[in-house]
Amino acid sequence: MFQPHILALKGPINIGKTTTIKIVRRKILDHYGNQAIETDFLSKRATSDIKRIIEIGEFKIGIESQGDPVGPSKGLGRLHDSLKYFDEQGCNLIICTSRDSGKTAEYINAYESKYTIISYKKIKEPENKMESIWNITATEIFNKVISLYDDFNKAK
């Protein structure tokens, strides 16, 4: 039986977590081509973040790029709501961003009884290295996506 996973890219504010997750999304869509069906849950004008579900056959991937905490006036925040939604939709894999600790990390950890959680750590990089580090991290996460997709299909 396949164990669902959460791949969480963690780190402080403004280090490229969202950019890295967007690169992962693009790699998934490029790799799986028209096998992948993507649903966008945000208005393009609303934010630079993304909230998507990509379906590749029966394999569902939820992607949420907003992992920085939000103010108390905004409720629990989008990551909290997205994790719940992706779980309710039966996502086999959730890819998200988060801070290293605090509320967003707690939201992810709340799913550890149902999902295997794998964290990827992002740190502040020198400006001239940021783009190459984003691609290295995105490739690492993407390779895990392929591996989990293969495991899912073997378990069917």
pLDDT in tens, 6-17: 999 999 888 889
Per 3-state DSSP, the chain is made up of helix, strand and coil in percentages (nearest 5) of 45, 20, 35
Contact by Cβ (8 Å): 94, 64: yes
- Position 71 scores a pLDDT of 56
Domain 5-155 CATH (choose: 3.30.519, 3.40.1350, 1.10.20, 3.10.450): 3.40.1350
If you average pLDDT over residues 96-113, what whole number do you get? 94
C-alpha torsion sign, points 109, 80, 105, 150? positive
How far apart, in whole angstroms, are the C-alpha atoms of residue 142 and residue 24?
A: 6
Domain coordinates in residue numbering, the chain: 5-155
pLDDT tens profile 88-99: 999 999 999 999
pLDDT of residue 72: 54
Asked if pLDDT for residue 73 goes beyond 50, the answer is no
Q: Tell the residue number behind the tokens 């959460």, with chain if given.
A: 6
Instruction: Kindly tell me if the per-residue pLDDT of 111 is higher than 60.
Output: yes
pLDDT digits (tens, 9 = 90+) for 42-58: 766 656 889 999 999 99
